Amino acid sequence: MKKKMVSMAALALGLSASVADAQVIPPPEVIPVATASKKGSLLIFPFVTIDGQYGSSASLVNAGGQFDTVIEIQNNSLANPAPVTCTYINEAKGRINWSFVITPAGTVTWDVLLAAIDPGTVGSAAFPTSGPWTGGGSYWHPDPYRGELICFVTDPTGSFQVPFNELAGTATVFATPSSSGSPLPNNVAFRYNAWSFLVRTSGTTNPAPDSLTTTVGTPGQIILDGGFAGESLFYDACPAQNIQTFSPNGAVLFLSGTANPGGSPIPVYGSLGNAVSFSSCQQDLRQDFALHLTKIQFETWNSQETDHGLSWFCADSVETIPLIDQNSYLYNPSNFDFGEGGIVSTSHPGIRTPDARYVAVGVNSSQCPNSYNTGIVGVAEEAIAFGSDTSIDAIVASTTIPVGYAVGPAYTSSFNVTPAISNVTVTVPVQSGFVLWDCANGTYCNQ
């Protein structure tokens, strides 16, 4: 008899030097980088979903049931309210923004699906379920029922971004009952922490004092460069690369001592499939936005330190990537299998160890037309089974680990803005990021 279990994981973060690049990486005290383990002035949730109404059977996180997401954001200041502006962006580039105030030491919580059904009862905007981006060519079809959430603190009128390092947040993703025979049980869920960017003071790594009247840089332009350009106030840099450990698809991690009738041990824990959700650090939240594409390049190693080479996927600025054989847009998907197609042989070697790791980076490439180098932040998901059958008993997730601290150009000329730091370049591996947004009253304050 199979034992049902649910695991909810938000694993601790660590830091690592880049494996693929031998250049010197500045230490964290020189260029601060975002993590998912602290408070901040800007939060990014890379995976928000109400999937189940649309999608592909190849998607690990859309297996036929209805998914939902619960967002929780807290204001850790005991003295000051937090005026927050949030924006949903789905994979089809549909978007909607709204603002609210979190009272001192207060918390706001909402159900994304319920808000989509009846926004008047929950207090948040409805998640957008359409958009102009349709993919095509090297780019996979986008899913308008999946996307990201980006929230940051502004002055009380919503005219400019401010230093207020008191926000923290979590997203809980879960499956609801399905009438279509979904293999997902009703109690599958996982939770992850939002990626957090602090505002800091020039010449120090200390957080800047909270202020609702002080602008950070140009209104409407949140520059994620870790202070490399010498600003008096600056946001943390975005990581150049992300690293993640995972159990290859089809791997069995443990065997029980009891044998099946045929004599083989009963597997009690197995990996059914992996996926990862990334948000680019080139985020254009404006109504009149520019498209920012990238090539997500993976390099995988098994636990015996064997390098299995590169895989890649052409991605939008927000994307969930199933790391499975059925994903025809993922180059070399067997790099995430224990044995390709479930077979372990000389011609289909797979990873061959029950645990492995990958490094992911957003790069410019002719394989993904109009793509850019960019930092990325992510959440990795894995479907697992307990017992002797192959249905999903749990999905676990963890934020990816940031790698690298250096910064490069914040913009290029194709972004249609005139940045103050367009000439900043360094030779170490990271691109500085940005979040562009429309200020209050419809003013395009960053033009």
| Tens of pLDDT, residues 365-382 | 999 999 988 999 999 988
pLDDT value at residue 186: 52
Candidate from 39-48, 69-78, 110-119, 363-372 with smallest mean pLDDT:
110-119
Q: Quick one: pLDDT band at residue 210, thresholds 50, 70, 90?
A: very high
Q: What is the pLDDT of residue 396?
A: 77
Model pLDDT, residue 424: 26
What lies within 8 Å, CB to CB, of 163 at 6+ separation is 41, 199, 207, 208, 209, 210, 211, 214, 216, 233
pLDDT recorded at residue 214: 97
Q: Is the pLDDT of residue 147 over 60?
A: yes
Query: Smallest Cα–Cα separation from 50: which of 147, 131, 178, 159?
Result: 147
Strands (E) across 236-353 are located at 241-246, 252-259, 265-280, 282-284, 294-302, 307-315, 318-322
pLDDT in tens, 392-445: 667 777 777 776 543 433 333 222 222 222 222 222 334 578 999 998 755 556
Give the residue with greater pLDDT, 398 vs 9.
398
Q: Which of 245, 192, 223 is nearest to 16 (CA)?
A: 245
Whether 330 contacts 349, CB under 8 Å: no
Strand duo 199-201 + 195-197: pairing: unpaired
Q: What's the pLDDT tens digit per position in 282-329?
A: 999 999 999 999 999 999 999 888 888 899 999 999 999 999 888 899
For the chain, what are the domain ranges?
A: 42-439
Alpha-carbon gap, residue 99 to 351, rounded angstroms: 46
Tell me the pTM: 0.83
Who has greater pLDDT, 318 or 229? 318
Q: Are 421 and 225 in contact (CB under 8 A)?
A: yes
The confidence band for 74, taking pLDDT boundaries of 50, 70 and 90, is very high
Residue type, 306: T
Q: What is the per-residue pLDDT for 43?
A: 98
Q: pLDDT tens for residues 320-341?
A: 999 988 889 999 998 999 875 4
Q: What is the pLDDT of residue 26?
A: 44
> 57-71, 85-99, 198-212, 260-274: which range is least confident on average?
57-71
Percent of the chain with pLDDT over 70: 71
